[in-house]
Amino acid sequence: MKNIDIDELDDLRYEMDEMVWESNEINDMLNRDYAVDVDEDELDNELRELDDGMFMDVLDQNQNKKQENNNYYNDNVQKNVN
């Protein structure tokens, strides 16, 4: 009959238990639900508000640029008239 080393058997059992535990941990991670509950209408409204705000910012920048150009033109016309 073959001799069995009890310490070696115990080590093997411990390693198998660890592998099972790690496998369960991995399965738990893979099975987690990462879904985010999002209200589509609320999200659309927020995006629309952001878009409107960005549009107004660009519009204000264009109006300011137009005013600067008008001021520059008027200043140069005044200098040429005098």
Q: What is the DSSP letter of 1?
A: -
d(CA 44, CA 46): 5
Q: Where are the domains of the chain?
A: 6-81
Looking at the predicted structure, is the pLDDT value of residue 70 above 90?
Answer: no
- Give me the pLDDT at residue 52, please: 87
**pTM score over 0.75:** no
pLDDT of residue 17: 97
Tallying the residues shown for the chain, one arrives at: 82
> Does pLDDT of 76 surpass 90?
no
- pLDDT, tens digit, for every residue of 5-58? 899 999 999 999 999 999 999 999 998 877 778 889 998 999 899 888 888 888
